Amino acid sequence: MSDPRRPHPHAGPPRHHGAPHPAQGRHVPRPSEPEAAPTGPNPVRPELAEESGRDGRSGGSSGGRKPAPKTGSAKPGAKKSQKRPGAGKRRSRLFFGAAAALLALACVAVVAVLALRPSEKTAGRTADGGVRLGVPELTGFSPGTYSSSPSTDVFAQIETRELDPEPLTADEMFPKGSLSDETTGAEIVRRSSVEDADCADAIWGKGLAEALGKAGCSQAVRGLYTDPKKGFAAVVAVYNLTDAEAAGDAVEAFGAGSGGFVRVPDGAPKLFGEGFSMARGIAMGHYALIAWVQRTDGTGDGRSAALLSVLVTAAEADALYGRAA
């Protein structure tokens, strides 16, 4: 007896009452006919939806929870508002571009302020043609006695800086070695030398700095000499000025009581400048040379022949005589 649930081999396909016939409803594609592309506001092929998390949206996480259906009073068929592609990137570029422009303007403003503000260590020209020096030390040591003399015709070849434009170097002015003094038998040996691009670094005293600025001081060199056995020490300083007249004014300014003198270089004996000492300023063409000597124990007075002899020896300045030859 045949099973009533199994279809008869010659019977047609079973009919389902109440369901539309395939020909009356959805189009069933034939095996050789490609399936029609889905339609709608955001068409997604089923195979793509299956690969993208089976939620019908590309980019979904695999195995993720399906979003709950949205509820509300949205009108059927209404399209979702979509952001324009690239709008966020354009806004970011505009934001960072504006920030960069503001930063550039701020940098320009800072540079302009620094350029307009004079530096204390950078020499510049004053309204009267002098040199604007930096700020010197306000206190220091000065000698017990001082004398000065103007330039002579011996230095006519270096009367102005235009005739002698090459800057003076410490090695040229103070070569390694010693200076011999016949009267005392002292051999004062060069211990150190320093070059100062700003003359304010080679002196102390505001009034003296103003005087050297008016004289056009462009550089200075200083040398330190000592003879520990004989007990003598000497400091020699040379200042590069505009001309011989300016050099004459400068050597007078060192002894004018304006509150300032040569700045003692590092390495000088402990008591240098504290005991009795004597100094002499000599204008040599457009250079002002200051020689300053003292006994290392600070003893002596203005009548000391030994100190006076060492002072003359320290002021020999062979380098300046060589330039003037």
Dump pLDDT digits (tens) for 290-303.
Answer: 999 999 999 999 99
| Phi, psi torsion values for 131, nearest 5 degrees | -115, 130
Question: Could you tell me if 141 and 273 are in contact, meaning their C-beta atoms sit under 8 angstroms apart?
Answer: yes
How long is the chain?
325
Per-residue model confidence (pLDDT) at position 70: 44
Per-residue model confidence (pLDDT) at position 153: 97
**Confidence band for 62, pLDDT divided at 50, 70 and 90:** very low
Strand pairing category for 219-227 and 203-204 = unpaired
pTM of this structure? 0.63
Tell me how far apart the alpha carbons of residues 140 and 158 are, in angstroms, rounded to a whole number: 31
Question: Could you tell me if 45 and 38 are in contact, meaning their C-beta atoms sit under 8 angstroms apart?
Answer: yes
Quick one: tokens of 79? 């399209």
β-strand partners of 19: none
Q: How far is CA 215 from CA 127, 206, 257, 281, in A?
A: 13, 14, 17, 15
Residues 6 or more apart whose Cβ sits within 8 Å of residue 255: 146, 147, 148, 281
Tell me how far apart the alpha carbons of residues 70 and 83 are, in angstroms, rounded to a whole number: 20
Q: If we measure between CA atoms, which residue out of 218, 223, 234 comes closest to residue 194? A: 223
Over range 72-100, report the average pLDDT. Answer: 53
Tell me how far apart the alpha carbons of residues 190 and 313 are, in angstroms, rounded to a whole number: 13
**Confidence band for 248, pLDDT divided at 50, 70 and 90:** very high
- Round the average pLDDT of the chain to a whole number and report it: 77
Per-residue model confidence (pLDDT) at position 93: 59
Q: Which helix (H) or strand (E) holds 319?
A: helix 318-324
**Confidence band for 259, pLDDT divided at 50, 70 and 90:** confident
